[in-house]
Amino acid sequence: MNRALSSRISIFIVLGVAVLGLILSLPAFSYLPMFTRTSSGSAKPDHWVLNAFPLTYSVNPSLGSNFVGGGDPIQIVSSSFDTWTKAPNTGLTITRASDTSAHSAAFDGMNLICFICQDKSSFGGTTDTLAVTVTTTSDAPGQDTRHGVSSTAAGQIVDADIEFNPDVQWSTGSTVTDSQQHLQTVATHEIGHFFGLDHSAVVRAAMFPYAPDVSTTLSYDDVAGISQLYPKTSPDVATGSITGTVKFQGGAGVFGAHVFADSTGSSLPFGTGVRKSPIGAMTGPDGSYTISGAPSDSYTVTAEPLDDPVTDSDISGYASALSKASVQTNFTTRWH
Amino acid sequence: MKAQRVLFALVFISVAALATTVVPASIERLTEQSTHVTLARAVDNRSVWDASHTRIYTLTRFQPVRLMKGALPATFTVKRLGGHADGYTMKVAGVRGWQPGENAVLFLQPDVDGSYVVTGLMQGDFRLGRQASGDLTVSNGVRGAKQLDANGQVSEFQGSRMTLTELEQRVRKVAVR
């Protein structure tokens, strides 16, 4: 709709595409991490350094009558963490530390999960904000992590807290009513942020900014993201990458195009516990992209402007981290 | 083939009205929840720690360009959690700040310290763009998300992008009640 009308400028896509045998593994990201802008001006993906200090979370177990459905919210959060840490190709562990009475996000050496969070300003004064994840990263090595050691990398996450809005009606069951929100669905998304992922423009991803009423599993895009940030030493499933460049007709690279690879096959290399979805990437300032974490298959690759339903506003720091005002959307969708 | 593909790309968007972080709020709801609504221009930013040195806030000074609800001084400050200070970056996923010179329509609530906070985090922050026709558009990046139903029926995509004129009319309609 808008996309078709939005511009007469066409793009020329240089495909580094489709087929796939096992292309070698690669660097870059095929999902979208959050970024930290370093003191030198470059952008580094947010991530935990797993050997820096034990990665734990602490729960404030206080609950209100706004939790209904019979499930245990703490167990649900634990299951949501497991969804990410047990993702294919992912080498990531986190343990639950002692409970706490803290009730507000803070850079204090403790990764807090609170259900009756006291600082309602975190939610912008409404019940329309269901939950927030607040992360703190180091802009450079050598910063105090508040865990007794110094940070070792720019973009290293040193603290992350998840606050659930206490004024929201939460369902801890398997279904929701119109007035409820599904705790595990929201927790799964927020924990993606906890581990460093930004929103994804792939519509079936857990990190897509909007979700079905109930959706508690990861998609291929999510798996690509978490496994690239925290790769398993011996991957469960062999993957490769797709690279290319998105250019305007005049030859200039398109910055911030959303490029996604969609499998044309019916195989399920990640099994049935992961929802099959396209795997996405954003182009860099020169228009180049790398879609990583793609299992062996044939793919259709599409480049589209990030102009709805996911927009620049949903990926909070991508353009600014790369010293750009915003992503470019003055082109029409193309695929090969 | 090409047409089908485009249709797929356009309609295979979000499902239902639930967002994992936010529930999409209408302009009318945002207006009711806000004491002030204004088109404003960002002047400058500064980030500060709170008193306990555990939270970083960014204070952005704005100048009102066009008031739509409530009265504001010639310069006012919007406070948001997150920012850069002393070699650290604190961020709330999905929320971004404003650069000096950037214009936005802001739905605001007063904070206890005299500053303002944006209603519903990113929901009350509409960034400006321009249509090919020249009309100014606004979008908060949060859409009402009608979607595929369980039977795979495609409903019409309804985004939050609209013209500035339409947004202002909708705000004023509620503000005068």
Chains A, B: CB contacts within 8 A come to 203
The shortest C-alpha distance from A270 to chain B (Å) reads 22
What ipTM does this complex have? 0.83
Question: Is position A298 within any domain?
Answer: yes
The shortest C-alpha distance from B167 to chain A (Å) reads 18
At A295, the pLDDT band (50, 70, 90 cuts) reads: very high
**Chain A residues with CB-CB distance to B14 below 8 A:** 203, 208-211, 309
Comparing B59 with A10, the larger pLDDT belongs to B59
Question: Is position A206 within any domain?
Answer: no
Q: Within this chain, do residues A141 and A259 fall inside the same structural domain, yes or no?
A: no
Q: Which of residues 66-125 of B touch A (CB under 8 A)?
A: 81-82, 84, 87-96, 99, 109, 111, 117-125
Cβ–Cβ of B21/A335 closer than 8 Å?
no
Cβ–Cβ of A134/B33 closer than 8 Å?
no
Q: Within this chain, do residues A70 and A189 fall inside the same structural domain, yes or no?
A: yes
* pLDDT tens by residue, A205-248: 888 876 678 889 999 999 999 999 999 999 999 999 999 999 98
Q: Is the pTM of this model over 0.80?
A: yes
Question: Is position A310 within any domain?
Answer: yes
Q: Within this chain, do residues A19 and A62 fall inside the same structural domain, yes or no?
A: no
By residue range, what is the domain housing residue A92? 45-196
Phi/psi for A319 (5° steps) reads -65, -45
pLDDT at A171 over 90: yes
Cβ–Cβ of B117/A125 closer than 8 Å?
yes
Q: Are the CB atoms for A236 and A223 separated by under 8 Å?
A: no
Q: Are the CB atoms for A132 and B93 separated by under 8 Å?
A: yes
Question: Is position A53 within any domain?
Answer: yes
CA atoms within 13 A on the CB side of B18: 23
- Partner residue opposite B20 with nearest CB, options A1, A189, A320: A189
Q: What is the pLDDT of residue A335?
A: 59
Last residue within a domain, chosen from A150, A175, A196: A196
Could you tell me the CATH number of the domain that includes residue A183? 3.40.390
Q: In the 8-state DSSP scheme, what is residue A30? A: S
**Chain A residues with CB-CB distance to B91 below 8 A:** 34, 134-135, 137, 316-317
Cβ–Cβ of B84/A125 closer than 8 Å?
no
Nearest alpha-carbon partner for B27 in B155, B163, B131: B163
Q: How far apart are CA A216 and CA A192, in angstroms?
A: 12
Phi/psi for B175 (5° steps) reads -65, -30
Cβ–Cβ of A210/B111 closer than 8 Å?
no
Q: Within this chain, do residues A188 and A50 fall inside the same structural domain, yes or no?
A: yes
pLDDT at A17 over 80: no
Q: Are the CB atoms for A16 and A28 separated by under 8 Å?
A: no
Torsion of CA A274, A278, A284, A287, to 10 degrees: 160
**Mode of pairing for the β-strands spanning A170-171 and A181-182:** parallel
Q: Within this chain, do residues A62 and A183 fall inside the same structural domain, yes or no?
A: yes
> Which residue of chain B comes nearest to A183, CA vs CA?
B20
Q: How far apart are CA B142 and CA B125, in angstroms?
A: 10
Distances (CA, A) of A41 to A44, A284, A324: 10, 15, 12
Secondary structure (3-state) at B174: helix
Q: Does B127 touch chain A (CB under 8 A)?
A: yes
Last residue within a domain, chosen from A179, A196, A213: A196
What is the residue-level pLDDT of chain B in tens, covering all 177 positions? 333 322 222 223 332 222 335 677 788 999 999 999 999 999 999 999 999 999 999 999 999 999 999 999 999 999 999 999 999 999 987 777 898 999 999 999 999 899 999 998 888 999 888 777 888 888 876 543 333 333 434 333 334 678 899 999 999 999 887
Last residue within a domain, chosen from A175, A196, A217: A196
Q: What is the pLDDT of residue A210?
A: 67
- Partner residue opposite B54 with nearest CB, options A5, A106, A132: A106
The domain spans of chain B are 14-175
The shortest C-alpha distance from B116 to chain A (Å) reads 10
Q: Within this chain, do residues A29 and A63 fall inside the same structural domain, yes or no?
A: no
Q: Which residues contact A20 (CB under 8 A, 6 or more apart)?
A: A240, A242, A294, A296, A297, A298, A299
- Partner residue opposite A181 with nearest CB, options B5, B18, B89: B18
Q: What angle do CA A70, A74, A80 make, to 5 degrees?
A: 100
* A71-80, A119-128, A149-158, A319-328: range with lowest mean pLDDT: A319-328
Find the helix or strand (DSSP H, E) in which A304 lies.
Answer: strand A299-304
Nearest alpha-carbon partner for A189 in A235, A157, A221: A221
* Tally of domains within chain A: 2
Q: What is the pLDDT of residue A110?
A: 98
- Partner residue opposite A108 with nearest CB, options B12, B14, B54: B54
Question: Is position A210 within any domain?
Answer: no
Distances (CA, A) of B72 to A124, A243, A335, B68, B107: 19, 50, 48, 10, 12
Q: Residue ranges of the alpha helices (H) in chain B?
A: 2-11, 27-33, 164-175
Q: Which of residues 138-177 of B touch A (CB under 8 A)?
A: 139-143, 145, 157, 159, 161
Q: In the 8-state DSSP scheme, what is residue B153? A: P
* A66-80, A155-169, A175-189, A313-327: range with lowest mean pLDDT: A313-327
Q: How far apart are CA A63 and CA A106, in angstroms?
A: 20
Q: Within this chain, do residues A170 and A283 fall inside the same structural domain, yes or no?
A: no
Q: Within this chain, do residues A184 and A241 fall inside the same structural domain, yes or no?
A: no
Tell me which CATH code domain B14-175 carries: 2.40.50
Q: Within this chain, do residues A12 and A49 fall inside the same structural domain, yes or no?
A: no
If you write DSSP's letter for every residue of B38-87 in order, what string do you get? EEEEEEEEEEEE-TTSS-EEEEEEEEEEEEEES---SSEEEEEE-EEETT
Distances (CA, A) of A120 to A132, A286, B81, B119: 11, 41, 12, 11
How long a stretch of residues is chain A? 336
Comparing B66 with A12, the larger pLDDT belongs to B66
> Which residue of chain B comes nearest to A46, CA vs CA?
B89
Q: Residue ranges of the alpha helices (H) in chain A?
A: 2-5, 73-85, 183-194, 220-229, 318-321
Q: What is the pLDDT of residue A281?
A: 85
* A203-212, A281-290, A294-303: range with lowest mean pLDDT: A203-212
The amino acid at residue B132 is A
The amino acid at residue A207 is M
Q: Within this chain, do residues A49 and A29 fall inside the same structural domain, yes or no?
A: no
- Partner residue opposite B18 with nearest CB, options A210, A304, A313: A210
| Phi-psi region at B94: left, alpha or beta (left = phi > 0; alpha = psi -120 to 50) | left
